[in-house]
Amino acid sequence: MKNTLSFFAIILICNCIVITSCQNNIPKTSQDKISNSKQNNQTPIDDQYAYQEEAITIIRDVTPPSPPPPTPPVIKEVPEEKITMEEEPIMMNQDIAEVEEVEDEVADAEIFSRAPIRKPHLKKHKEIAAPQHNTEEYNHIVENEFLSSIEKPLSTFSIDVDNASYSNSRRYLNNGQMPPKDAVRIEEFVNYFNYDYPQPKGVDPFSINTEISDCPWNQDHKLVHVGLQGKVLSKDEMPPSNLVFLLDVSGSMRAQNKLPLLKKSFQLLTQQMREDDRISIVVYAGASGLVLPPTPGNDQHKIMEALSRLEAGGSTAGAAGIQLAYQTAESTFIKNGNNRIILATDGDFNIGTSSTSELVRLIEEKRKSGVFLSILGFGMGNYKDGRMEQLADNGNGNYAYIDNFDEAKKVFVQEMGGTLHTIAKDVKLQIEFNPAHVKEYRLVGYENRKLKNEDFNNDKKDAGDLGAGHTVTAIYEIIPTGSKTTSAGKVDPLKYQDRSVKRWAKVDPDWMTIKLRYKKPNEDVSKLLEMTAKDNGLSLQASSNNFRFSAAVASFAMVLRDSKFKGNATYDNISEIAQGALGKDEHGYRKEFLDLIQKAKQADIRLTAEK
């Protein structure tokens, strides 16, 4: 018995020695695994032992525990400015869906300072399934009717050098769409193009040119063409400029064809500035601010840098920006110079004074300071055309729409003199028709530029301005006295007076007398000019390129409007007339017009097919 116990004791001791020896000979890699597992796994003690035994292959059928959970990702804070501006690019002609934005006053302050003043605030944008409803606005146009030269022998209107309607309608046609009818203003289509009128030779800053020939859309009618040619000034002849760039940097200006295009456009203008010129930059969003005090025009690096820092965000307080811009312009007013504010916006004012009538009253009051106002429109989707046209008309300025970079070059480089330098203000025309030759007449376009007859001699009545080198063209459609057709409404004969044609008028060859009044830019008393026009029996084929091309453009605008006065005008015969009257087309604008005719034709066909 004693020997048996000793035998089992010896076996037990040997087993202990073997186990201890195995533990001491575990490979280093396995030990590292055990050590790491102890550090990385907060598991119960029993599980740790099981993991050790598996590691040394003593217990081979034990499944290792799940790997530790992955380290959570690190979220880096990004400044809000970058989040706001990092969007997918939008093509110039692409429809835009505005993104819902979070507005606060601090964000508006950052637009002016560009210094971080608070922690990043991440905006959660909603996913947009479809483009936002189009909110573009255009004033309703009621086309001019035919009037009897016996009943109403006088036609009075203000000149109009705006051309925004043409470039805005071009944007629609380039997108394969027909423009809204009220977006088409015939006179702005005609005046988008320059015409080869002679330069003025006398003391007056423009020449007056007339031509009468056949009407291409109605063979029984005639057209009267009245054209003004402003004097061209060289860069050295232009007076020094005091310009205030009033720029809309609100949230609605984020799209690529808004603020980014705006900045490139004003960089072009900056390159044209001289040492004597002064440039200031005022911006507005939820509030307004001066981002560049008056700076010499040759300090282009400083001006360019200020433009490059602009970013969009916030709501739109247009009135506050307009007031600050006028204050800035008045503080550096140049006597006998070109003092002008250039407002660039989509017109979507939504806080502060925002109604069109209130803004017009503000502009009318401010124009007394001698500071002119020009307006440049940008963008689509929420464009407010009617508002901007009224502001420009009442601010002694002009109105253009920038739909692409080429248009920016046209406005700010090729036609800079006409855009910025006024040579005649409050220019009015009054036409008296001779009823012996003119039965009825109709002014083609200029519906929102008509004046009362008594306004012609009233120097307090505001009218359009003519820029250096600008041309202005007006067209009348005439029903000759011998024609059997009539369009004007009839009234009963008068009881107490007789409206008859004077005997000498029947033998007078003049069809009309043209009167014009204008003021010099720094004067308040107008000067009267007068001339006559008569029909020389000129056929349409024998008429000038000026006459035929302007007639083609006017008829194209009437077709786009589906005017009841378009007669037999079609895309094909319009194109034929324009093709034969291209004349000198230095920048290719007339050839582009031919392309637009074909685009309109295709868009019209698609629209008709859809109906």
Work out the pLDDT band at 6, boundaries 50, 70, 90. Answer: low
φ and ψ at residue 449, rounded to 5 degrees? -120, 10
DSSP codes joined into one string, 313-332 = -S---HHHHHHHHHHHHHHT
412 shares its domain with 428:
no
DSSP codes joined into one string, 409-447 = HIIIIITHHHHH-EEEEEEEEEEEE-TTTEEEEEEES-G
Work out the pLDDT band at 14, boundaries 50, 70, 90. Answer: low
245 shares its domain with 341:
yes
- Residues 6 or more apart whose Cβ sits within 8 Å of residue 260: none
392 shares its domain with 313:
yes
Cβ(359)–Cβ(319) below 8 Å? yes
Report yes or no on 331 lying in a domain: yes
Domain end: 420, 455, 476, which one?
A: 420
Report yes or no on 360 lying in a domain: yes
For the stretch 215-249, pLDDT in tens is: 999 999 999 999 999 999 998 899 999 999 999 99
For the stretch 401-445, pLDDT in tens is: 999 999 999 999 999 988 899 999 999 999 999 999 999 999 999
Report yes or no on 82 lying in a domain: no
Q: Which residue has the higher pLDDT, 199 or 488?
A: 199
212 shares its domain with 155:
yes
Does an H or E element contain 45, and which?
A: helix 45-55
Q: Which residue has the higher pLDDT, 490 or 144?
A: 144
Q: Which residue has the higher pLDDT, 274 or 33?
A: 274
pLDDT (0 to 100) of residue 579: 97
Contacts 24+ apart (CB under 8 A), 289-292: 289/111, 289/112, 289/324, 290/112, 290/324, 290/328, 291/112, 292/245
Distance of CA 142 to the CA centre of its chain: 24
450 shares its domain with 573:
yes
pLDDT (0 to 100) of residue 144: 97
* Furthest C-alpha separation in the chain: 166
Report yes or no on 574 lying in a domain: yes
Work out the pLDDT band at 350, boundaries 50, 70, 90. Answer: low
Domain end: 420, 443, 459, which one?
A: 420
If you average pLDDT over every residue of the chain, what do you get? Answer: 82
Domain end: 366, 399, 420, which one?
A: 420
pLDDT (0 to 100) of residue 10: 59
- The CATH number of the domain where 265 resides is what? 3.40.50.410
Report yes or no on 410 lying in a domain: yes
For the stretch 437-451, pLDDT in tens is: 999 999 999 999 999
- Residues 6 or more apart whose Cβ sits within 8 Å of residue 346: 248, 252, 253, 258, 377, 378, 379, 382, 383, 384
353 shares its domain with 414:
yes
Does an H or E element contain 172, and which?
A: helix 164-174
196 shares its domain with 285:
no
Query: Is the pLDDT confidence value at 266 over 90?
Result: yes
199 shares its domain with 176:
yes
DSSP codes joined into one string, 453-491 = GGGGG-TTS--EEEETT-EEEEEEEEEETT-S---SPP-
Does an H or E element contain 345, and which?
A: strand 338-345
Containing structural domain, residue 393: 241-420
pLDDT (0 to 100) of residue 11: 58
Q: Which residue has the higher pLDDT, 187 or 351?
A: 187
pLDDT (0 to 100) of residue 83: 30
246 shares its domain with 229:
no
Number of domains in the chain: 2
pLDDT (0 to 100) of residue 201: 92
Q: Picking from 322-331, 359-368, 369-378, which range would have the lowest pLDDT averaged per residue? A: 359-368
Query: Is the pLDDT confidence value at 193 over 90?
Result: yes
Cβ(105)–Cβ(70) below 8 Å? no
* CA gap 426, 518 in Å, rounded: 6
Q: Picking from 143-157, 294-308, 347-361, 465-479, which range would have the lowest pLDDT averaged per residue? A: 347-361
pLDDT (0 to 100) of residue 358: 85
430 shares its domain with 375:
no
469 shares its domain with 392:
no
Averaged pLDDT for residues 29-46: 42
**What percent of the chain stands above pLDDT 90?**
61
For the stretch 71-96, pLDDT in tens is: 443 333 334 333 333 333 333 334 43
pLDDT (0 to 100) of residue 168: 97
465 shares its domain with 564:
yes
pLDDT (0 to 100) of residue 47: 41
Q: Which residue has the higher pLDDT, 139 or 81?
A: 139
Structural tokens at position 506: 């029947």
E strands, 378-421, in order: 399-401
Report yes or no on 19 lying in a domain: no
Work out the pLDDT band at 133, boundaries 50, 70, 90. Answer: low
What do you get for the CA distance between the two ends of the chain, in Å? 116
Nearest residue to 163 (alpha-carbon basis) of 476, 382, 444, 415? 415
Instruction: Supply the angle between the helices 571-579 and 545-561 in degrees, to the nearest 10.
Output: 160
pLDDT (0 to 100) of residue 16: 52
Work out the pLDDT band at 506, boundaries 50, 70, 90. Answer: confident
pLDDT (0 to 100) of residue 394: 86
Query: Is the pLDDT confidence value at 13 over 70?
Result: no
- Residue type at 388 in one-letter notation: M
- Residues 6 or more apart whose Cβ sits within 8 Å of residue 358: 319
Cβ(565)–Cβ(584) below 8 Å? no
Report yes or no on 589 lying in a domain: yes
Structural tokens at position 465: 């301005």
Residue entry with tokens 């066909």: 605
Report yes or no on 307 lying in a domain: yes
- The CATH number of the domain where 582 resides is what? 2.60.40.1230
Work out the pLDDT band at 157, boundaries 50, 70, 90. Answer: very high
pLDDT (0 to 100) of residue 400: 96
* CA gap 208, 437 in Å, rounded: 22
